[in-house]
Amino acid sequence: MRARFVPSYYRRENLLKLQRLQQGSMCVNEYFKMMESMLLKVGLQFESEEKVVRFVSGLRREVQDVVELYEYSTLDKVLHLALKVESQLKKKQETKKSTPYNCKTREN
């Protein structure tokens, strides 16, 4: 059925999209769903370890840096860890925004 109704370039284009996929401005959950969707479209059956590596390599740098400090063995564990890291980073950003910046200068 695929051979008849799906254009030949469809798989190749989706493979390229998957290879270039980065979290960017998406939240971790959206990025994960996008990656899973693309894997299904392409029809690739990655091993668990390959999915984990692919997922981590596409995370935003500040999330990736923290995630790589911890041990993880499955995609579920690394997803949960990335969600926690993202949540903590959001809390830090919110507290920075709510704390007024008071610059005190010395008077001579």
Domain count, the chain: 1
Instruction: Name the residue range of residue 29's domain.
Output: 2-82
Scanning the structure block, which residue is given the tokens 């059925």? Answer: 1
pTM of this prediction? Answer: 0.79
Residue 31 maps to a domain? yes
Residue 92 maps to a domain? no
pLDDT tens readout for residues 38-83: 988 888 777 889 899 999 999 999 999 999 999 988 999 999 999 9
